[in-house]
Structure 1
Amino acid sequence: MKLVKLIANLGYGSRKEVALMFREGRIADPDGEVLYADDKVPHEHIRIDGEPLDPPAGIVLMMHKPLGATCSRKDQGRVVYDLLPPRYRRRDPALSTVGRLDRDTSGLLLFTDDGALLHRIISPRAQVAKVYEATLASDLRGDEGELFASGTLMLESETTPLAPAQLQVLAPRTARLAVTEGRYHQVRRMFAAAGNHVETLHRVSVGGLALGDLPAGAWRPLAADEVAGIFLPALP
């Protein structure tokens, strides 16, 4: 792929704008030698205004989604794409969230431009567990773990029971829940079906990939081994 098209596809500007960047000498190699549009250089050797080029197509990002942001491209309020550099909205292929977290849920959110990978992660067949920590309005009764693991729990307005989910009680009103589906407001509705109300909800891991100490609102690209870790068993 020609450099102008490559850089334009990464959202740095239109092809005309990128061509102008070349003419202005803004695109160089790591040693500061100016590059030209017809040069053939590895992706990792390209610098724009001294900064490394964004990762190529096939990117996977992890973000610590803060409260109040929605997983939407267009919303009247704050959206998760506002937390990324503006050029990430213009990438081709487009960058999409891997599933969604609602406005009132924080924690690990993934983005990718790889459609096949996205569908592999969210497919119930893949059994990729999403682990959430919930604080509840009332003390747990004690039978929620058995109920959620039964595979018979039916949510209101649905006709198919939920797949078994694993509950870990952390405190009388705090629990960790691992689910392999992604139904609408699933965790909140599961606790509602058990007669409780979720006050705060935070996703701590997806498969074997943990959020770790990434600050709220921060993001970073994942290395290949971290992407592979998504398909490992959920962390305890």
Structure 2
Amino acid sequence: MKLVKLLANLGYGSRTQVERHLRKGHATDLDGKVLGTKDSPPHGKVLFQGEPLDPPAPLTILFHKPAGYTCSTEDPGDTIYDLLPARFALRNPVLSPVGRLDKDTTGLLLMTDDGQLLHRLISPKHHVPKTYEVALDRPLEGHEAELFGSGELVLRGEDQPLRPAQLEVLGEKEARITIEEGRYHQIRRMFAAAGNHVTGLKRVAVGRLALPDDLDEGEWRILDDAAIALAKQG
């Protein structure tokens, strides 16, 4: 692959912008030789402004989403892409969130350019669990676990019942809930149906992949195959 196309696909700029970078000598090989528009070096032999290139597709990252950011570039205001390298939003194929966390929800957000992986993780038929920690406005009453686990709860405005969800009580106003679906504001609406109000929501795991303790809000890391395999597991 020509270097211009390689860098453009990785989001380092449009083809015109990449060509400008190359004319300025921003791309070199590992020995420091300046690379040009006619070069087709191996991906792993290129440095851009002295740094190794981002991995090629497929790329999957784990991002610790803070509150106040949306997951879509089409939404007004601050988005998760504001906290990531600008080139991540320009990759081809695009690096997309694996299911969206709403603006006020924090925690584990996977992003990938692997369409098959994205479908595998968000499709309800694959039963990939997503686990959240919930803070509530009022104390739990004791009936919530049975209600959520019944498989009979129908949310307001819908006609299909939710799949059974698991609830673990963590405190008077705190719980951990695991679901296999991703309906609109599902957990907030579930607790509303139980007569309560969610004041804080944090995703802590996808499959068996947990949010790392050492990853602060706004930080991200590239996932290897072993970590991706954990995310697929129920």
Q: TM-score scaled by structure 2?
A: 0.94
CA distance in 2, matches of 1:199, 1:131: 17
How does 1:48-197 map onto structure 2 within 5 Å? Answer: 48-197=48-197
Q: Over residues 17-41 of structure 1, what are the superposed CA-to-partner deviations in whole Å (9 max), with x where a residue is unaligned?
A: 3233333322112332333444443
Task: Tell me if the contact between 2:2 and 2:41 (Cα under 8 Å) persists in the aligned partners.
Answer: no
Which residue of structure 1 aligns with residue 219 of structure 2?
218
CA distance in 1, matches of 2:119, 2:200: 28
CA distance in 2, matches of 1:216, 1:37: 39
CA distance in 1, matches of 2:149, 2:118: 26
Which residue of structure 1 aligns with residue 231 of structure 2?
230
CA distance in 2, matches of 1:128, 1:220: 21
Q: Over residues 175-227 of structure 1, what are the superposed CA-to-partner deviations in whole Å (9 max), with x where a residue is unaligned?
A: 00000000000011111111111111100011111111211111122111111
Which residue of structure 2 aligns with residue 206 of structure 1?
206
Q: Which amino acid aligns with 2:224?
A: A
**2:52 matched to 1:13?**
no
Which residue of structure 2 aligns with residue 30 of structure 1?
30
Q: Over residues 144-186 of structure 1, what are the superposed CA-to-partner deviations in whole Å (9 max), with x where a residue is unaligned?
A: 1111111111111110000011111111111000000000000
CA distance in 1, matches of 2:131, 2:46: 38
SS in 2 for 1:230: helix
> What percentage of aligned pairs have identical amino acids?
57
SS in 1 for 2:68: coil
Compute the RMSD of aligned alpha carbons: 1.4
Which consecutive unaligned segments of at least 5 residues does structure 1 have?
A: none
SS in 2 for 1:140: coil
SS in 2 for 1:6: helix
Task: Tell me if the contact between 2:107 and 2:211 (Cα under 8 Å) persists in the aligned partners.
Answer: yes
Runs of 4+ displaced beyond 4 Å: none
Task: Tell me if the contact between 2:57 and 2:114 (Cα under 8 Å) persists in the aligned partners.
Answer: yes
Which consecutive unaligned segments of at least 5 residues does structure 2 have?
A: none
CA distance in 2, matches of 1:45, 1:209: 32
